[in-house]
Chains A and B, each alone.
Chain A
Amino acid sequence: MTPFLEVDRLAKRFAAVVAVNEVTLTLAQGQILALLGPSGSGKTTTLRLLAGFETPDQGRILVEGNDVTATRPAERRFGMVFQHYALFPHLDVGGNVAFGLESLGVRGADLDNRVSEALRLVDLQGLERRRVDQLSGGQQQRVALARALAPEPRVLLLDEPLSNLDPTLRERTRREIRALIRRVGITTVIVTHEQEEAFDLGDLVAVMRQGRVEQVGTPEQLYGAPANSFVAGFVGRASALEGTAVESDAHTTRVRVGEAMWSVPSPASGPLRGALTLMVRPEGLRLGPPSSPGVNATVLDRRFIGAEALYSVRLASGAELEVSGDPGAAKPGDSVSLQPTGRGILLYPRSGR
């Protein structure tokens, strides 16, 4: 893969806070990267560094091998869709979309054509003369997209593109955005704090925490083989549990959890020993009758999710887990025994992250 956009050891510090710490990312042309992380993890700062609104303390940003780190935002030709859209309230829809084209010197009939072309792209054709405050939230967002795409930027940046939308609109808009980006084929970076959004939109997802990139990978890689317990917990549901490795080879690790002994697939990184953190996904354990071998637990709560139910259970140690199972498997107050299903339990050395 030839890199189109490269971010090399980028760092930014605000007063005492390191907002972005040695962030390195690589994107091929047309790839979509989602920056995923809790608030304060540095994803928005990374985006603003890419856009040029902040100057990095260290590191480089390259587009097709050219260093643009010191290029002013106006000359960088990165399109940006802001969280609150930042549409110019004094210009109509057409004026907003034309703004970036005018910077490139596009005038006259050519300008009109390209504006209506951009609006057609987002399915808002004919709305050139509409005031922006007369549009719905979803329409405003599409105008913001059209405005960013009209000058044909090299990279598209989206800051929490769905956070301002009605929950009922989000899923549909997400599909539309994905289809649009694919159609245009533009290299894109999206900031989001919602895992579902990141997985749905991103070819690659970078999970960030405290200014660092914890892991970059496809959604499948992140879910199936999270690099550490933080990623495991942030990507999908998982409960943490403490255990001790008794025996471990390349395939299977025997873990002592409380009084029980579980056999769990070993991580790809190799055998483990000593104290472990087990990240347990709901599908990682199965509920059995209290007499069966396994870890004893008490059911606290049961929630129905479609065909399955999600049980909250408490172990003798006090730890609480979420376990999925048949809706009729148990009811609150029941004693149960937990056994591994053979998937969905991830092992990490306890001291590590």
Chain B
Amino acid sequence: MNRLRGGLVGRVLLVGLVWLIAYPLAVVLLESVRGPGGWTLEYFRQFLGRTGDWQALWGSLWISLASVLLSAAVGIPLALLFWRYEFPGRRVLGVLVALPAVLPPLVGVIAFLFLYGETGFVARLVQALFRLEQAPWRLEGAMAILLVHGYSMYVYFYLLVRAGLAGLDPAMLEAAASLGAGRARTLRHVILPLLRPSLAGASLLTFMTALASFSAPYIFGGGFRVMTTQIVTSRLNGDYGTAMVETVTLTAVALLGLWIIGRSGETTATAGGMKGTGGGIRLQTSGLTRVAVTTISWLLVLGLLLPHLTLVLLSFVPIGTWTVETFPPVYRMVNYLALVRDPERLRPLLNSLWMATAATVIAVGAAVLAGPLVTRRKSRGGAAIEGLLGLPWVVPGTVFAIALATAFSVHQPWLGRVILIGTPWLLPLAYLVRNLPITSRAILAGFRGLDPTLDEAAASLGAGRWRTLREVTLPLLRPALSAGAALAFVTALGDFVTSIVLYTYDTRPLSLEILSSLRQGDVGVAAAYGVLLMVLSALAFAAGRDRRTVET
């Protein structure tokens, strides 16, 4: 009877996931080879013949690879610095420097715009200093995209490398030292090889994020083409066949990247347990080194956080009060008040909140249902569920948005297709799909960490399935649940990629309101929305991490 119930949950879950995740992608693949007159390769032929598409594909590829290198160049030294040296403020800075991870990409992009853009602070400062007639530069094109990517994606290298370093066996370093290896040799021949899984993971994460990046190329791209923006343009132009082919191509590139980088990270587990004295690792700095390390760290962190501070500053600037001055002359609360008082301004906030909440709750629920099926029984169904849950992570957000828009644009209930486009339901569904990989990854990891004998202990003490779930499993999963929920909520709240394809006026989320405020020249309101997103994201993360982990 139990087995039957487990089987039923599994089947319902599997069908739901196939319908939401695999099916829309299959529809896109089909539509890319189907024209008005039946099966055709016409769209692919057109695609191959267009220079614009080749440029976009090449642009996506090299920007993504360059983003990986740039992020590594910032993130790895930063991680080593915070791991190796003890200096005043190390802990606080170590947390602050990871802050861009909690920020929605669009917020990062506009913050960058306000700081380094044509009319940003730095440009104005340079202009004033050198008494130039015009702005000294325009922030546009590939270099601008790359800068933004490096700025926001170094966090992946920083976080993963720090995690990798934390997992290093200190005895390994002591062994290297006792064998006469100097610091440089230890770094090159011991630390970096041991960090290979972390480095591969960070490279993969950065590559996939850069490949899927939409906000930066959309805002800064100018004439520079990448696949994500190309897809949206094709679709907006009504060029559906082309959009389908572009979508399929981008997915293929993403899968290829996953395969190549994923393979390079495979490594055999290191032998031997951890047994060393942790104290030996961190160098206590003193004198000149201490001053230098501290200064460098503070400056680095300040530089990395400057865009966000800019955003906060600008959120207090009323519209029309800042023209040619280097710094805005007037600071008021009007922008924030407008968000609350003006129903039209409040609307996007409420939209984003309910849609993100709904997507989060369902994603967490699905992951909890999937947990026992995936981690306990070694069934094929469990593997399929886990694969489906992870799939949206591989596929760029733009692709999913197009796939959902395509699959749910016709009424064919017997094919599982209903019209959801234009309804308030499509966007939360899209958020849900995008949330599933991150949420389920956190929650499944939680399930894997559970001691299965606790379930048996509960059963032997007479607790049924429901009581065991409620009083044993869920309380123990709480850290994983809150982490998964926080990640999901923050992602959905700041989503721009899928929103721009799927929103309707009534369901317009925060990100699109930021964009339209920006277009109307209302920098203050855009910044205020951005700060709000920042604060809400930070709060969600704080709530997700605050729960004390239960030690076993």
Contacts and interface: CB of A to CB of B under 8 A. Distances in A.
Whether both chains belong to one complex is answered with: yes
B321 to A, nearest CB: 54
Nearest to B459: A73
A90 B460 contact: no
A80 B458 contact: no
Nearest to B453: A86
A133 B457 contact: no
A230 interface: no
Contact of A148 (B460, B471, B475): B460
Interface string B400-439: 0000000000000000000000000000000000000000
Contact of A82 (B457, B462, B471, B472): B457
B172 interface: no
A352 interface: no
A161 interface: no
A166 B372 CA distance: 34
A99 B463 contact: yes
B467 interface: yes
Contact of B459 (A72, A104, A133): A72
A88 B459 contact: no
A53 to B, nearest CB: 5
B364 interface: no
A147 to B, nearest CB: 7
B451 A53 contact: no
B457 A103 contact: no
A99 B458 contact: yes
Interface in B444-463: 451, 453-454, 456-463
Contact of B551 (A53, A89, A104): A89
A74 B552 contact: no
A286 interface: no
Contact of A86 (B2, B457, B463, B471): B457
Contacts of B552: 89, 133
A80 B475 contact: no
B462 A100 contact: yes
A90 B550 contact: yes
B447 to A, nearest CB: 15
A84 interface: yes
Interface residue SS majority, chain B: helix
Contact of A77 (B456, B462, B551): B462
B454 A88 contact: yes
Interface string A209-247: 000000000000000000000000000000000000000
Interface string A34-67: 0000000000000000011100000000000000
A30 B461 CA distance: 20
A242 B475 CA distance: 61
Contacts of A79: 460-461
A90 B472 CA distance: 8
Interface string A90-114: 1000000001100110000000000
A75 interface: yes
B551 A103 contact: no
B464 interface: yes
B460 A80 contact: yes
B526 interface: no
B461 A151 contact: yes
Contacts of B457: 80, 82, 86-88, 147
B456 A103 contact: no
A348 interface: no
Given A80-B456, A82-B453, A89-B552, A74 B462 contact: yes
B540 interface: no
A219 to B, nearest CB: 28
Nearest to B472: A88
A78 interface: yes
Nearest to A73: B459
Contact of B462 (A53, A89, A103): A103
Given A84-B453, A89-B476, A51 B551 contact: no
Interface residues of B, number: 21
Nearest to A84: B453
B472 A53 contact: no
A86 B472 CA distance: 11
A334 to B, nearest CB: 44
B460 A73 contact: yes
A interface SS class: mixed
Interface string B528-552: 0000000000000000000000111
Contact of A51 (B451, B460, B472, B476): B460
Contacts of B454: 86, 88
B392 to A, nearest CB: 32
B456 A51 contact: yes
Find the residue from B459, B462, B552 having the highest chain A CB count within 10 A.
B462
Nearest to A147: B461
Contacts of A76: 460
A77 B467 CA distance: 16
Interface in A116-137: 133
A104 B551 CA distance: 28
Interface in A124-177: 133, 147-148, 151, 157
Nearest to A150: B461
A59 to B, nearest CB: 20
Interface string B376-414: 000000000000000000000000000000000000000
Contacts of A51: 456, 460
A311 B454 CA distance: 48
A89 B478 CA distance: 12
A26 B550 CA distance: 42
Contacts of B459: 52-53, 72-74
Nearest to A48: B456
A82 B551 CA distance: 19
A78 B462 CA distance: 9
Interface string B122-140: 0000000000000000000
A74 B453 contact: no
Contacts of B460: 51-52, 73-74, 76, 78-80, 100, 148, 157
Nearest to B464: A74
Nearest to A95: B471
Nearest to B458: A99
B476 A90 contact: yes
B116 to A, nearest CB: 48
A47 B476 CA distance: 27
A232 to B, nearest CB: 35
B174 to A, nearest CB: 29
Q: Which interface residue of B2, B460, B476 has the most chain A CB atoms within 10 A?
A: B460
A103 B475 contact: no
- Most chain A beta carbons < 10 A, residue from B2, B457, B467: B457
Nearest to B1: A72
A100 B551 contact: no
B382 to A, nearest CB: 18
Nearest to A51: B460
B304 to A, nearest CB: 38
A77 B461 CA distance: 7
29 contacts: A51-B456, A52-B459, A72-B459, A73-B459, A74-B462, A78-B460, A79-B460, A80-B456, A80-B460, A82-B456, A84-B451, A84-B453, A86-B454, A86-B457, A87-B457, A88-B458, A89-B551, A90-B476, A90-B550, A99-B463, A99-B471, A100-B463, A103-B462, A133-B551, A147-B457, A147-B461, A148-B460, A151-B461, A157-B460
Top 9 A-B pairs ranked by shortest CB distance?
A103-B462, A100-B461, A73-B459, A86-B457, A86-B453, A80-B460, A89-B552, A90-B475, A74-B459
Given A86-B451, A103-B461, 15 more contacts: A51-B456, A52-B460, A73-B459, A74-B459, A74-B463, A76-B460, A82-B453, A84-B453, A86-B457, A89-B550, A89-B552, A90-B475, A100-B463, A133-B552, A151-B462
Interface of B: 2, 451, 453-454, 456-464, 467, 471-472, 475-476, 550-552
Interface of A: 51-53, 72-80, 82, 84, 86-90, 99-100, 103-104, 133, 147-148, 151, 157
